[in-house]
Amino acid sequence: MFSRLVVQTAAGINRRFPRAVLQARFFTQQHQKQARSRLLSPFFISTTSAIVATGLTFAVMSTQHHDDLLEQKIALNGTADHEVEEATKYLNNMTIVKEARSNKNMFEIEAYSHLNGSAKLHSLTASTLRGKGKVIVAPVIFYNKSMTEVTIVCHLGTELCGHDGIIHGGMLATLLDEVLACVAFPALPNNIGFTANLNIDYRKPVKSDQWVVMRGQLDRLEGRKAYVEAWIEDLEGTKMTEAKSLYVAPKSIIPKIGS
């Protein structure tokens, strides 16, 4: 009895199967036609455009919002507009800056241009250390064409000291780490890496309230490892602090943080 029911059920399924397949094909074709029709319909196109436009609008608004917060944060550090203007004017008229801008073998990039939104707002050097008595204006950055050498000009204020009148060693280490990253990142896979090792030699005290020149260069690249060196000098070219570092690129692409 059980075997007969199995056979009868199987026979019924076999008789109905071709029809079911045809119905499935028909509905699939109809669904595809309807889907294509919807994709090409003015409503769908306009709705999609609206969604994309809304997304872009929110992205722009988010960036503007964080930029406004950054300006407020810097202003709260006591920086007056005229002080920023004076510092910017002085920076632009410095001989080293003029020479770099006229050098055809070098090009300039905007400091912290790789950061957007909250990433820039929460950055130690782009945000927290900006302001009167600290880093009053963003540094200027110049690369050689191969991006294996970088020159950065920056002012270090009186509020960045360890001993009074002398820039804190930890501040110098932070700056050097970023200079080293400037020449390590372009060479590494996916243009990103992390500090694996950092060695610093403090040659001479770096006095506060002065303009300094920071230079970095790529020593060698070995797969995911970039060996780099950098130093800080005064405007006369005297080296005051030097560093060597190993940067390692991650094995896989990491998601971008911040918006």
Instruction: Give the pLDDT confidence score for residue 112 in this predicted structure.
Output: 85
How far apart (Å, rounded) are the C-alpha atoms in residues 130 and 157? Answer: 10
**Of residues 18 and 111, more confidently modeled:** 111
The CATH topology of domain 80-248 is: Thiol Ester Dehydrase; Chain A (3.10.129)
Q: Are 120 and 127 in contact (CB under 8 A)?
A: yes
Identify the band that residue 164 occupies on the pLDDT scale cut at 50, 70 and 90: very high
Residue-level pLDDT at 207:
97
Predicted confidence at residue 252, as pLDDT, reads 80
Question: What is the distance between the alpha carbons of residues 43 and 56, in angstroms, rounded to a whole number?
Answer: 20
pLDDT at 80: 74
How far is residue 227's CA from residue 222's CA, in Å, rounded to a whole number?
8
Mean pLDDT, the chain, whole residue set: 79
Mean pLDDT of 196-221: 97
> What are 71's two structure tokens?
């300006």
Q: Does the pTM of the predicted model rise above 0.75?
A: no
Name the nearest CA neighbour of 137 among 112, 118, 100, 169: 112
Order the strands of the 140-144 sheet from edge to edge: 106-109, 140-144, 149-156, 210-222, 225-233, 239-248, 194-202
**Which residues, including other chains, have CB under 8 Å from residue 137's CB and lie 6 or more apart?**
84, 87, 88, 91, 155
Q: Name the 3-class secondary structure at 107.
A: strand
Range with lowest mean pLDDT among 46-55, 82-91, 103-112: 46-55
What tens digit of pLDDT does each residue of 116-163 get? 777 777 888 888 898 889 999 999 999 999 999 999 999 999 999 999
* Cα–Cα distance list, 189 to 185, 196, 249 (Å): 8, 16, 6
